[in-house]
Amino acid sequence: MEVANAKASGPIRWLVLLATLCSLLSCGANLAAGSPTPPHGTIKPSSVAADEFEKNVRNQLFDPTKTAFRLVVSDEQITSYVALRYRNLSLDNPQVWFSGGRTYLRGTYTGLCLFHPDVLIVAEPVVQNMKIL
């Protein structure tokens, strides 16, 4: 009887150990305090700014007289669009901004069960002859 109990408690013991280890590792997984933030403070999403972004994209894409695509967008417009129009995005409080030739996306990732880390994605496009490569 004792041997059977020892065998049954072995997997449970490993699961408890694994859960404890994951919990300890996730405690310090958020972004450091010095990580980049929007230069002018938190960007508040608005439906007006999201609508402006959609209108700008539509005007560029669906104008048959244009042979080139040029989109001018503000931090508020793109943040509002991402926050209000992408409801299935697993990111709370998304902040998108442009600075120093880079695009930043920051927020709280909610796609994992109980673990919600702050995330930061930085993209730097390569531009050559006025074209993004």
Domain assignment present for 42: yes
Summarize the confidence of residues 118-125 as an average pLDDT. Answer: 89
Residue 64 scores a pLDDT above 90: no
Domain assignment present for 128: yes
Summarize the confidence of residues 66-87 as an average pLDDT. Answer: 90
Domain assignment present for 3: no
The stretches of 66-126 forming alpha helices (DSSP H) are 75-85
Report the SS3 class of residue 104: strand
For position 85, what pLDDT does the model report? 93
Residues 82-109: tens digit of each pLDDT: 999 988 888 899 999 999 989 999 999 8
Structure tokens, 125: 């496009």
Domain assignment present for 53: yes
Summarize the confidence of residues 115-130 as an average pLDDT. Answer: 86
Domain assignment present for 83: yes
Total tally of structural domains belonging to the chain: 1
Domain assignment present for 14: no
Residues 2-54: tens digit of each pLDDT: 444 445 556 667 666 666 655 555 555 566 567 888 888 899 999 999 999 99
- What is the CB neighbour count within 10 angstroms for residue 84? 16
Please report, for residues 57, 68, 74, 113, 129, the alpha-carbon distance to residue 62 in angstroms, rounded to integers and kept in the order given: 8, 11, 21, 41, 24
Residue-range definition of the domain harbouring residue 36: 31-132
pTM (predicted TM-score): 0.70
Domain assignment present for 22: no
Q: Which residue, 18, 79, 81, 91, is CA-closest to 44?
A: 79
Domain assignment present for 38: yes
The answer to whether 80 touches 53, Cβ cutoff 8 Å, is: yes
Give the residue carrying structure tokens 């109980």. Answer: 114
Residue 117 scores a pLDDT above 70: yes
- 87-94, long-range: CB within 8 Å, 24+ apart, which pairs? 91/119, 92/116
